Chain A
Amino acid sequence: MNTWQDKAIKTILVGSASTSILIVFLIFVFLGKEAFPFIWDPGFFELWQSRWIPVSFQEEVFGLLPLISGSLLVTGLATLLMIPFGVFGAIYIAEIGSETERSFLKPFIEILAGIPSVVIGFFGLVVLSPIIKTMFGLNTGLTALTGAILLALMAVPTVITVSEDAIQSVPRAYREASLALGANRLQTIFRIIVPAALPGIIAAIMLGMGRVIGETMAVLMVTGNAARMTLNPFDSVRTMTATIAAEMGEVAFGSHHYQALFWVGIFLLLMTFGLNLIAQRVLRKYQMR
């Protein structure tokens, strides 16, 4: 029997569940509304230039390419760094390490996940960037690589926690069957368990990449923020997030610069959106087997 209390509770629950849909929808509407006028004046193709010069007495140029390439470079490097640490860490904790090691390692990984990104950024500025500078003989330690290392540091706990869950949830019978057939422990791990847990591990890496591409404060502090197009990890780059964070405060409301920053936001959103989509595709493909 449907009483009014049932209905009220159901309404509340549906409401809570659909809030995030509403918010995503509103964000898209708002971003689009602020960014849209740029398409006519000065024109959509103005966004595809290789220079980003938002404040100028000569001519303002709002090319997004250096910002997009900066974000991609930092994210790519960070992903390369976080995969081995995250996945091998998870394998060790889930399969090889003893119970004592587990209870010792886990809390530390969780603490690493809890460190605010400003603190990590400060650590990068004061400790890591001089090391990078002397190690590679550079003029300055504020490079894409420095930012990528910090971001990998921040994403590794996510990757470890999620992949470890995936590895743990591989049925015990798989392990036992493999060992019973005469495979040794290493073969069991890399031929049976890791492939079985692969969808979870890929999801973990995608989650880590999501964290990396959206991270702002640490990259703002250590990548040097020079807006140039480069694929050299030892160059300074300007990421999309750092650009929004650094410039949104100053920008005159409704100006071309303001609209261009919203376009940066839209492309950032599309990139994370694409990442999620790919992650879901991969997960579904493996689950169907």
Chain B
Amino acid sequence: MFRRLTTLGIAIGIAVLVLVGCNKNDSSKNSDSLKKGEPKYLTIKGSDTMVHLASAWAEAYMEAHPEADISVTGGGSGTGIAALLNGTTDICIASRSIKAKEIKLAEEKGLSPNEIVTSRDGIAVVVNSENPVQELTIEQIGKIYTGAYTNWSQLGGEDHDIVILSRESSSGTYVFFQEHVMKKKDYSPEAMLMPSTSAIIQSVSQDVWSIGYVGLGYGAQAGDEVRMLHVKNDANSPAIVPSVVTVQDGSYGIARPLHFYTNGVPSGITKEFVDFVLSDAGQEIVLESGYVPIK
């Protein structure tokens, strides 16, 4: 009996050692002091909205700088900021601003998040093209999402219940929409939370009485079954079509900046990459990807 317990103890001990050992493998790949010609690593992580854009930047940059090796992953703005705080990414892409809570957490860890505005994005509110409703005010859209309006007839449409489609709460777009369109009120419990933008587009194209929100780039390419609503800032202002021009001149009401967050002022390859993104060539890519350049 005693011998058995000892063997079991040894086995558990070994297993614990293995587990502890695994934890220490987080080697830091990216040191700044790299000789020319050696690969330079850069990791970018965060907002799903910005993944396509960041990949396009990374591809263009790597074409011009063959020694650079950039990896881009999504997961949501919050995931990216968490990764920045844990030191597992060099650049965090975020479609919302960093929260006060997160800044505090960063300071506790001795980090200083540095914000860089790279471009802008409009949020298009989409409905099925069979829905006769053409334009809504921001307030009306907000009231649909909080559950104050539940039927299209209350908004000058046909007598059908509204199917509310939202992104998941891990999405930067979810928080942005809640803050700026819903005036910080809670989402209706009836709101369906979709795991991705493409799932929203898919549902809106199938469900005639649904409403959803997506990035301008996705909305413009969504196909014939999906239509972007024209949005009025208030009841008396004109209805604005979401487009690159109206987002850039500020007349379209539901728009936001797209950020990079780095730890401190960028240096080395991170700085070179940021400079490229803000250059004319980088901003040209913004336009090609369906987003809005800053200048």
Contacts and interface: CB of A to CB of B under 8 A. Distances in A.
B185 A246 contact: no
Given A10-B7, A133-B207, A140-B207, A249 B78 contact: yes
Given A14-B8, A139-B161, A250-B170, A224 B192 contact: yes
A20 to B, nearest CB: 11
B184 A57 contact: yes
Nearest to A130: B206
Contact of B206 (A53, A133, A236, A249): A133
B209 interface: yes
Contacts, number: 119
A211 interface: no
Nearest to B194: A225
A51 B186 CA distance: 11
B288 interface: no
A53 B209 CA distance: 25
Interface string A26-59: 1000000000000000000000000101111110
Nearest to A26: B19
Interface residues of A, number: 43
A225 B12 contact: no
A142 B203 CA distance: 9
Nearest to A58: B186
B202 A125 contact: yes
Interface in B148-178: 160-161, 163, 168-171, 174-175, 178
Given A125-B202, A226-B189, A238-B193, A247 B169 contact: yes
A228 interface: yes
A208 interface: no
Interface string A138-152: 011110000000000
B294 interface: no
B199 interface: yes
A140 B203 contact: yes
B126 to A, nearest CB: 15
A220 B78 CA distance: 19
A22 B19 CA distance: 11
Contact of B169 (A15, A54, A141, A220): A54
Contacts of B160: 139
A96 interface: no
Contact of A226 (B15, B193, B199, B210): B193
Interface in A101-147: 125-126, 129-130, 133, 139-142
Given A225-B194, A227-B189, A246-B195, 11 more contacts: A130-B206, A133-B206, A133-B207, A139-B161, A139-B163, A221-B199, A249-B78, A250-B171, A251-B78, A252-B82, A252-B105
For the complex of A and B, list the 3 residue pairs with the smallest distance between their C-beta atoms, beginning with the closest: A15-B11, A250-B170, A250-B78
10 contacts: A11-B10, A11-B11, A18-B12, A139-B163, A224-B194, A226-B190, A227-B193, A249-B76, A250-B170, A251-B78
Interface of A: 7, 10-11, 14-15, 18-19, 22, 26, 51, 53-58, 66, 125-126, 129-130, 133, 139-142, 220-221, 224-228, 236, 238, 246-247, 249-253, 255
